[in-house]
Chains A and B, each alone.
Chain A
Amino acid sequence: MIETLDKYYREYNANIHRGIHKLAEEATIAHEEAREKIAKFINANRTEEIVFVRNATEAINLVAYAWGRANIKQGDKIVLTIMEHHSNIVPWQQLANEKGAKLEFIKIDEEGHLRQDEIHELIDERTKIVCITHASNVLGTINSIKEITRAAHRFGALVLVDAAQSVPHMRVDARDLDCDFMAFSGHKMMGPTGIGVLYGKSKHFENMPPFLCGGEMIKEVHTTGASWKDLPYKFEAGTPNIAGAIGLGVAVDYLRNVSMETVHDHEKQITGYALTRMTEIDGLVVYGPKEVTKRVGVISFNLGDIHAHDLASIMDEEGIAIRSGHHCAQPLMEFLNVPAMSRASFYIYNTNEEVDVFINALEKARKLFNP
């Protein structure tokens, strides 16, 4: 992936879709090949359903602005879940405030699964869109998206899936899930930073006004007005992150080569091992589902009353990087009534030996604070 970025900047660094020269042609082909790879990777119906953005956050904002401003009216309902990342809350809060719409949150049970009764209670005829994470970045819970899309579509509501934590870790089939929009980020799946994807069914994309306007996204511009390019370019204003898109395509090649089944199996194994070993530590509380088949490879926890940032500092001294704090999910923290958590995350490159180092560091922290 890194070599691909290097090669682009060294050998065919040119803007796409307009230059009438060899380098521009090469760059355009590589950029559009990456789009095709990603479309296949998530089993989109068509390549034009893949829009390149900076990250999942921008993807969600695109929908909240372009689709939301055109379709949400006063009194409409937007249904979210209490486990959403801020990036799948704040754009909808802004939209709801502007339009006088109402936000409702599906809550969770003790194990961190969405409450079935609330799914069916809150999604109703006033609901216009349901915005839900595929896998929680805090609890690791894998949500049953098909159940949500069935419930929402019965009332004609759309479903946006935040797949930032699922696409990198398991096979995700956009067509099978039947979601209307899906957002994910390149940097969580071995790709570069600053590149992300918005998937959307073309019937929605066609009816949406553009989000950002300017160069690259127009067909014609006159002093009296402008017309837009066809999909997906209507949503890609300005010079894009060309190297980033090509790099993401190569990351997708890599993951397909390893196979997403292998990635998921490896994570299940290592998460199971870590969860078992973590029960050895006195006073350690793990959040989220107990069964490894119902979660992705993130484990959020607290150790006694040691603050998450103290734990992270001690771990850092041992060469272990964990996330600590509110994990960009303050509503979930409030719901669970904990000020902060620590989180260990695993990917294809982590090993059981690294889990052992992590467990030893936890034990060290426990002894330091509770001698």
Chain B
Amino acid sequence: MSSDIYKDIILDYYRNPRNFGDLANADVRAKDSNPLCGDIIEMQLKINDGKIDDVRFKGRGCAISQASASMLTEVIKGKSLDDVKAMGKSNVLELMGIDPGPTRIKCALLGLKVVKLAVYGYLGQAITEEVKQLV
């Protein structure tokens, strides 16, 4: 059974999402949706000393959006807020190991957008154009 974008690892993260659920005492929460698919992602971050101490996500939607959000939570744990702000599309695609193509790229980038919304929200900074244009 071969499928270009539905690799086993994507389906595995979709079926068994890591870091799924609520984070008690989260310092910041953010939520956004992808109007095309109706995918919804919420991120909850615990931040300590400029670094992401812990993270949980919740959401529903297509496999691409949910798997990419889950994979992202594993990668950002322990990262500095500046490092997270510097992450972009290429980091997510590398993480997933697929090219979802122009119509599904927004699904893949929703998780990153929500993480960035949370970080900017925590820092009290205005959302940049770069973040707005992710999805």
CB < 8 Å neighbour of B64 from A310, A364, A368: A310
Q: Which of B4-12, B22-30, B45-53, B72-80 contacts A (4 or more CB under 8 A)?
A: B4-12
* B-side contacts of A339, CB under 8 Å: 38, 60-61
| A220 at the binding interface (Cβ < 8 Å) | no
Known: A339-B38, A369-B11. A314 touches B6 (CB 8 A): yes
* A-side contacts of B1, CB under 8 Å: 364, 367-368
Report how far A325 CA is from B104 CA in the complex, Å: 13
Q: How far is the CB of A287 from chain B (nearest CB, A)?
A: 16
Asked whether, in the complex, the Cβ of B38 is within 8 Å of the Cβ of A313, the reply is no
| A309 at the binding interface (Cβ < 8 Å) | yes
| B37 at the binding interface (Cβ < 8 Å) | yes
CB < 8 Å neighbour of A325 from B4, B5, B36, B63: B36
Asked whether, in the complex, the Cβ of B11 is within 8 Å of the Cβ of A368, the reply is yes
Asked whether, in the complex, the Cβ of A307 is within 8 Å of the Cβ of B37, the reply is yes
Known: A368-B1, A368-B11. A310 touches B6 (CB 8 A): yes
Interface size on B, as a range, is 10 to 19
* A-side contacts of B37, CB under 8 Å: 307-309, 325, 340
Report how far A125 CA is from B13 CA in the complex, Å: 57
CB < 8 Å neighbour of B62 from A310, A317, A326, A367: A310
Asked whether, in the complex, the Cβ of B62 is within 8 Å of the Cβ of A307, the reply is yes
Q: How far is the CB of A196 from chain B (nearest CB, A)?
A: 24
* B-side contacts of A306, CB under 8 Å: 63
Report how far A324 CA is from B90 CA in the complex, Å: 27
Interface size on A, as a range, is 10 to 19
Asked whether, in the complex, the Cβ of B11 is within 8 Å of the Cβ of A313, the reply is no
> Max chain B CB contacts within 10 Å: which of A306, A309, A314, A368?
A309
Report how far A340 CA is from B62 CA in the complex, Å: 10
Known: A307-B61, A307-B62. A313 touches B5 (CB 8 A): yes
Closest B residue to A306 by beta carbon equals B63
Asked whether, in the complex, the Cβ of B3 is within 8 Å of the Cβ of A314, the reply is yes
Asked whether, in the complex, the Cβ of A313 is within 8 Å of the Cβ of B104, the reply is yes
* B-side contacts of A313, CB under 8 Å: 5-6, 64, 104
| B107 at the binding interface (Cβ < 8 Å) | yes
Closest B residue to A330 by beta carbon equals B38
25 CB contacts below 8 A, A to B, read A307-B62, A307-B63, A308-B37, A309-B37, A309-B61, A309-B64, A309-B107, A310-B6, A310-B62, A310-B64, A313-B5, A313-B6, A313-B104, A314-B6, A325-B37, A325-B38, A339-B38, A339-B60, A339-B61, A340-B37, A340-B38, A368-B1, A368-B6, A368-B11, A369-B63
For the A-B complex with A313-B64, A314-B3, A369-B63 known, give 7 more contacts whose Cβ atoms are closer than 8 Å.
Answer: A308-B37, A309-B104, A325-B38, A367-B1, A368-B3, A368-B6, A369-B11
Which 7 pairs across A and B sit closest by C-beta, in order of nearness? A307-B62, A309-B62, A309-B37, A310-B63, A310-B62, A339-B38, A340-B38
